[in-house]
Amino acid sequence: MSTRETVLVVDDEIGPRESLRMILSPLYEVHTATDGEEALRFIYDNYVDLVTLDLNMPGRSGFGVLKAIKDFCPDIEVIVITGYASLENAKEAIRLGAENFIQKPFNVADVIAIVGKSFERRRGNLNIKRLRV
């Protein structure tokens, strides 16, 4: 088992999915899924710290996947990365538990910074939970 933090990249389009995999692989253990059902099967069977999630995919929508992830494990950080950015979509994603919202095409430096900040927030939240026990 790797000691690096784990990211699951969920996107039905190969270009953004592989770009994110290549961007994040030097820093994190990265896995990919091509749709929501594959992503959820992976999450149910494997430890995942953070998910990057497209909204518009065949089958279950990104919003449905986000809700299922948060219902299963609220500690998993979710960053929505979508080509269908709108204020309504951003508000709904945040309401369902996404920590951030990035519009495609994305900027590499922004992705690295946002993912890094999400991991910092996650570590802080987990430390607070441990102290409460």
Q: Is residue 53 part of a domain?
A: yes
| Predicted local confidence at residue 124, as pLDDT | 87
Q: Is residue 59 part of a domain?
A: yes
User: How far is Cα 18 from Cα 88, in angstroms, rounded to an integer?
Assistant: 27
Q: What is the CA radius of gyration of the chain?
A: 14
Residue 43 buriedness (CB in 10 A; 0-12 / 13-18 / 19+): buried
| Predicted local confidence at residue 2, as pLDDT | 57
pLDDT tens-digit series, residues 84-103: 888 999 999 999 999 999 99
CATH number assigned to the domain comprising residue 122 = 3.40.50.2300
Q: Is residue 79 part of a domain?
A: yes
pLDDT tens-digit series, residues 65-79: 999 999 999 999 999
Q: How many domains does the chain have?
A: 1
* Residue-range definition of the domain harbouring residue 61: 6-132
Q: Is residue 1 part of a domain?
A: no
Q: Is residue 26 part of a domain?
A: yes
| Predicted local confidence at residue 16, as pLDDT | 96
pLDDT tens-digit series, residues 12-59: 999 999 999 999 999 999 999 999 999 999 999 999 999 999 999 999
| Predicted local confidence at residue 132, as pLDDT | 80
| Predicted local confidence at residue 1, as pLDDT | 47
